[in-house]
Amino acid sequence: MHLKKPQEVLLLGPGPSPVHPRVLEAMGQHTLGHLDPDFFQIMDQTNNLLRLVFETKNRITFPVSATGSAGMEAALVNILEPGDKAVIGVNGVFGQRMVDVASRCGAEVIEVDAEWGRPIDPELLEKTLSAQSKVKLVGVVHAETSTGVQQPLEPVVDVVRKFDALLLVDAVTSLGGLPVAVDRRDLDIVYSGNQKCLGAPPGLAPITFGERALEKFQERKSKVQSWYLDLSFLTRYWGEERFYHHTAPINMIYALFEALSMIKEEGLEDRFARHSLHSKALIAGLKALGVNTVVSEQHRLPSLNAVWIPEGIDDAQLRSSLRRDHLIEIGGGLGPFKGKVWRIGLMGNGSRRENVERLLKALSEILNNLGHKCSGEEALSEAGKIYQ
């Protein structure tokens, strides 16, 4: 029995994103041993490319051999010990997940909440930190995938620096699609995932640790609760020592290397501009269809567009028709947004004009069939104005 070749579905959901043929071809190259000297060269080159995309000189920058959630876990288990205090911003699913992981480390977790669809208020964050003593870590989500909110980082950094805490940033849906700028913003720990704006298949979690975070790690009084994610082991494998720790996913690292190489060729600023342009065109077209955005323009993610489902439209029915009849996937809402919101990703290789126009045509057809009268031609015209 052989694998049945999957249909090519246009992935415009919250992830994974469409993978460029170059990346797929790279992933299909001959597998090397995980301790092969030629593979070591690829590891080093991949880490250098990650530094370029993170915009950092951090020496500890590498891809964790697991998905983005493992990046979150690696960041938290290496820093937090039982009894430590962590303040976590929660304005969606992934902030709440950060709370869960931090609590499993034995930390005392204090939440700073914001309404879904809005960023964390830095003034509320400062008030919370002022009421606590010896907070070790503050965590925020830069790009909240469940809501499409972009968290302004500079005000958060300004607050955190007043309290001598580390700042942890979830950049799973932002790295490679909008500026993360680790060094310029003075971020301590940042993690991401392969499968969003970086444009590689899921399976790796790029992460970077700054010197303040490494100092805190060195001061630990207890073992890291996860053997697999223990930074002391991982840095020995990814560093000059090449100490055997685990069998790295060789071909996945090939794919990440190629995806990062394509980002370097495109240039970060051009890539950020491309994501912004196509998001604006999509939103203009959706507005013409009577589909409105969840997040205000100033806090909207260019990589993940959250929009309200028009009144009277069945979420599952539309997304099922879109997948079945048009071979396009978009995401539904999570938590309190379930059945109320669509999440439309324009990430990496998926952030293209032809994909925006294909989606608008398909949505207009299905919406009209479901009784929501709208004009596909008008939607394409409004999107086209953005491209002029």
Q: How confident is the model at residue 11 (pLDDT cuts 50, 70, 90)?
A: very high
Q: State the Cα–Cα distance between residues 205 and 346, nearest whole angstrom.
A: 20
Omega cis (within 30) before 336: no
Dihedral (Cα; 223, 224, 226, 228), 10-degree rounding: -100
The residues pairing with 113 across neighbouring beta strands, listed in sequence order, are 90
Q: 268-387, superfamily in CATH?
A: Aspartate Aminotransferase, domain 1 (3.90.1150.10)
SS3 letters across 36-50: CHHHHHHHHHHHHHH
The chain-wide mean pLDDT, for the chain, equals 97
pLDDT in tens, 69-112: 999 999 999 999 999 999 999 999 999 999 999 999 999 999 99
Cβ partners under 8 Å of residue 314, min gap 6: 370
pTM over 0.85: yes
Pick the CATH number of 20-264 from 3.40.1360.10, 3.40.640.10, 3.40.309.10, 3.40.50.1820: 3.40.640.10
Distance CA 113, CA 47 (A): 35
Pairing of strands 205-209, 189-191: antiparallel
Tens of pLDDT along 227-270?
Answer: 999 999 999 989 888 888 999 999 999 999 999 999 999 999 99
Map out the domains of the chain as residue ranges: 20-264, 268-387
Per-residue pLDDT of 12-71, as tens digits, reads: 999 999 999 999 999 999 999 999 999 999 999 999 999 999 999 999 999 999 999 999
| pLDDT for the residue 241 | 85
Structure tokens at 273: 């501009």
pLDDT of 187 strictly over 90: yes
DSSP letters, 107-118, are -EEEEEE--TTS
Taken in order 297, 303, 306, 312, the sign of the CA dihedral is positive
